């Protein structure tokens, strides 16, 4: 995933899509997003959704942390960024805070840390489903005006490109889920390809609007510093919340990764739908850096948690 994001960003800088090429790339991106959410609807079992909804002691606080605490944290960091960075980049912190968790990486690192993998899978999946419906309206309330507002046309596009294919996937799931399960590796590449195209389209617009001229080296340093600070506070907040809830250690580990990590798989496609290309690249800049940072830092953190679990048992 890191390689895909870096490649898409460099390609947009060197060969940005403009004019008719951008319109074609946007259409390809939208088709890819539709297919991706159709497949997601096929592979997330309805029984898992029901089981997760029944575990409100875990899922309820996780939902509030991801879309409450993290969203308000994004507002706070946007205020700090607004004094030093372009407004669209600053509002990107609000957008980052409103996004749902990852599924694949949160589950992988929970497994590596010997946490509750089943709970992680169901919790992160439910948060992603909720995010399709919650993230855009929440962003509109907290800071959508900073990126031009979210009108009825954008909500309609979300319904047609994100919600509708997921619902169709759920309806036909019983007939196709076994076949989908056999192609997990190809589906993983579908995820990466769709995200890469969405990032390429977004950053093409930002490059055309002068991203390179607007950002000095010091600005990039400020942005990276703020992103790392937000990630550190997210990790500390998720672990502290799980501890206050009295969750057993394996459940706390699942809560940590599902609560603190943010999904570029939702964020990049959603940005491609919500914002014009001239704005989208600026808005998702904090998200891309946050996602890269969480992937780099999560592995050593998971190993440390694993060692702590062994010491506690020993």
The answer to whether residue 311 sits within a structural domain is: no
The average pLDDT across 276-283 equals 79
Predicted model pTM: 0.78
Q: Report the Cα 13 to chain-centroid distance in Å.
A: 23
Q: 210-251: per-residue pLDDT in tens?
A: 666 666 778 889 999 999 999 999 999 999 999 999 998 989
CA dihedral 8, 14, 19, 23 (to 10 degrees): -10
The whole domain housing 185 covers 2-13+20-306
More confident residue, 141 or 49: 141
Q: How many domains does the chain have?
A: 1
The answer to whether residue 264 sits within a structural domain is: yes
CA dihedral 197, 200, 202, 207 (to 10 degrees): -170
The average pLDDT across 158-174 equals 81
Contact present, 148 and 279 (Cβ < 8 Å): yes
- Among candidate residues 39, 66, 180, the one with its CA nearest the CA of residue 123: 66
The answer to whether residue 208 sits within a structural domain is: yes
What integer pLDDT is reported at residue 67 of this predicted model? 95
Contact present, 50 and 244 (Cβ < 8 Å): no
The enclosing domain of 97 has a CATH number of 1.20.1530.20
What integer pLDDT is reported at residue 223 of this predicted model? 93
Q: 5-22: per-residue pLDDT in tens?
A: 778 878 877 888 877 777
- Residues 222 and 74: their CA atoms lie apart, in Å, by 15
What integer pLDDT is reported at residue 107 of this predicted model? 76
What integer pLDDT is reported at residue 68 of this predicted model? 95
The answer to whether residue 312 sits within a structural domain is: no
Lowest mean pLDDT, pick from 86-90, 176-180, 191-195: 191-195
Q: 84-119: per-residue pLDDT in tens?
A: 888 888 999 999 999 988 766 777 788 888 888 777
Place of tokens 């899922």: 59
More confident residue, 48 or 39: 39
The answer to whether residue 313 sits within a structural domain is: no
Q: Does residue 252 carry a pLDDT above 60?
A: yes
More confident residue, 11 or 76: 76
The answer to whether residue 90 sits within a structural domain is: yes
Q: Tell me the range of 35-44, 52-61, 132-141, 145-154 where mean pLDDT is highest.
A: 132-141
The answer to whether residue 267 sits within a structural domain is: yes
**What is the chain's mean pLDDT, rounded?**
81
The answer to whether residue 251 sits within a structural domain is: yes
Q: How confident is the model at residue 146 (pLDDT cuts 50, 70, 90)?
A: low
The average pLDDT across 47-74 equals 85
What integer pLDDT is reported at residue 78 of this predicted model? 94
Q: Tell me the range of 66-80, 155-169, 262-276 where mean pLDDT is highest.
A: 66-80
Maximum distance among all Cα pairs of the chain, rounded to whole angstroms? 63
More confident residue, 295 or 153: 295
More confident residue, 230 or 184: 230
């Amino acid at each position: 995933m890191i390689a895909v994001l870096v490649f898409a960003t460099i390609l947009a800088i060197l060969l940005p899509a403009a004019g008719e090429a951008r319109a074609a790339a946007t259409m390809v991106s939208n088709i890819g997003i539709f297919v991706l959410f159709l497949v997601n609807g096929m592979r997330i079992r309805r029984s898992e959704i029901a089981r997760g909804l029944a575990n409100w002691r875990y899922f309820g606080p996780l939902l509030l942390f991801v879309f409450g605490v993290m969203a308000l944290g994004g507002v706070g960091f946007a205020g700090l960024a607004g004094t030093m960075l372009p407004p669209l980049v600053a509002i990107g912190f609000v957008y980052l805070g409103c996004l749902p968790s990852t599924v694949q990486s949160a589950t992988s690192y929970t497994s590596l840390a010997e946490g509750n993998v089943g709970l992680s899978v169901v919790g992160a999946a439910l948060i992603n489903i909720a995010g399709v419906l919650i993230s855009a309206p929440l962003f509109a309330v907290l800071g959508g005006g900073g990126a031009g507002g979210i009108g009825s046309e954008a909500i309609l596009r979300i319904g047609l490109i994100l919600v509708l294919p997921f619902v169709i996937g759920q309806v036909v799931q019983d007939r196709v889920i076994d076949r989908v399960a056999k192609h997990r590796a190809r589906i993983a590449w579908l995820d990466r390809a769709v995200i890469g195209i969405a990032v390429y389209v977004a950053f093409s617009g930002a490059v055309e609007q002068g991203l390179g001229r607007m950002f000095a080296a010091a600005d990039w340093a400020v942005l990276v510093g703020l992103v790392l600070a937000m990630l550190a506070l997210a990790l500390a907040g998720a672990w502290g919340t799980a501890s206050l809830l009295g969750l057993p250690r394996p459940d706390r580990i699942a809560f940590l990764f599902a609560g603190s990590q943010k999904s570029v798989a939702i964020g990049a496609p959603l940005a491609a739908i919500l914002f014009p290309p001239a704005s989208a690249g600026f808005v998702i800049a904090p998200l891309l850096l946050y996602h890269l940072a969480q992937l780099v830092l999560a592995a050593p953190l998971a190993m440390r948690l694993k060692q702590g679990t062994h010491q506690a048992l020993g």
